[in-house]
Amino acid sequence: MFVSTNAHDFTIGAALRRQQLPLSVDQLRKLAPSVFAEAAHDSRSQRYAYIPTVDILQGLAREGFEVYSATQARTRHEDRRDHTKHMLRLRHRSLQMRAVGDSAPEIVLVNSHDGSSSYQMMGGMYRLACNNGLVVPDGVCQTIKVQHSGKIQDRVIEGAFEVLDGLTRVIESRDDMRALTLNQGEQRAFAHAAALLRFEPAEGAGLPVTPEQVNRPRRMDDQAPDLWTTFNRVQENVVRGGLRGRNANGGRQATRAVTGIDQDVKLNRALWTLAEEMRKLKAAH
């Protein structure tokens, strides 16, 4: 089996994340039923090459990877619910995170069975404490995209190993960031740039929240001034939302969480690139 079948009686959410357990088959079916699609959606032509996600998971399980997170895109069309885009995050079963701040590399898998997405695999990083789900850009870990056409099975398998090889560089980047300390001005500049990436204000418009809010730790263990910790607390604040600010009309409102798969991947890649550029600047001086 490609995922844990432990029969724990708790609600999917905080309890599951806290116990650091891989998803059971039943939990995965609830979170992302399209993973188990038995064929492509009826709208696809005969030229469409079906890549069953469940088969990919079984192959990765043989390499020791289990699914720890799953999400599925919303659709207004009920007939597409079991075929639409989904994103899964897998970690190797040998990587046990026990202390707050521990992190581990992940494989991030995106696929669909209705033509809404190509098959994609990319590197990621998960950090215990704030449940950060970072996605790494191509410059650090190769992103594999396979179109649903032609002979694809060999390319899918080959791509998995390319991503696995790239995870070593993800770990190296993390360790380099941990070794660099940011002063208050550098932390503020990083938080300000991250807020611009997240909220994309119109020219001349202000941000809904301040850089100080974006850089504010949500727990005592996240106060360290190193680049890796700064990156993670900023990423958590802009992705999870809940920051009290003001909208364009001056009214009070809380920032929203990032929930869309495409926006999640795009923003996290941009934040990782921002952190890498800060690392290079600090290392040069």
* 41-46: long-range contacts, CB 8 A cutoff, minimum separation 24: 41/79, 41/80, 41/83, 41/113, 41/114, 41/115, 42/79, 43/114, 43/115, 44/113, 44/114, 44/115, 44/148
The pLDDT score that the predictor gives to residue 8 is 33
Provide the domain count of the chain: 2
**Segments forming the whole domain that contains residue 225:** 184-284
Do the domain assignments include residue 9?
Answer: no
With a cut of 70, list the residues of the chain below it in pLDDT.
1-20, 79-80, 96-101, 128-144, 146, 148-154, 156-157
| Whole-model pTM over 0.85 | no
Say yes or no: 161 and 189 in one domain. no
**Per-position DSSP letters for 60-80, written without gaps between them:** HHHTTEEEEEEEE---S-GGG
Say yes or no: 164 and 53 in one domain. yes
Do the domain assignments include residue 87?
Answer: yes
Say yes or no: 83 and 158 in one domain. yes
Say yes or no: 139 and 22 in one domain. yes
Say yes or no: 48 and 162 in one domain. yes
Say yes or no: 119 and 61 in one domain. yes
Per residue in 108-163, pLDDT (tens digit) is 889 888 878 788 888 888 776 555 666 665 545 556 676 766 666 667 667 777 77
C-alpha distances out from residue 240 to 195, 243, 268, Å: 13, 9, 12
Q: Shortest CA distance to 34 belongs to which of 129, 110, 121?
A: 110
Q: Shortest CA distance to 108 belongs to which of 93, 123, 95, 118?
A: 123
Do the domain assignments include residue 2?
Answer: no
Last residue of a domain, one of 170, 194, 222: 170
Say yes or no: 89 and 215 in one domain. no
Say yes or no: 162 and 199 in one domain. no
Say yes or no: 259 and 198 in one domain. yes
Say yes or no: 190 and 69 in one domain. no
d(CA 10, CA 66): 19
Do the domain assignments include residue 230?
Answer: yes
Last residue of a domain, one of 140, 170, 200: 170
The pLDDT score that the predictor gives to residue 101 is 61
Last residue of a domain, one of 170, 203, 236: 170
- Helix ranges (H only) for 63-152 are none
The pLDDT score that the predictor gives to residue 135 is 67
Say yes or no: 165 and 25 in one domain. yes
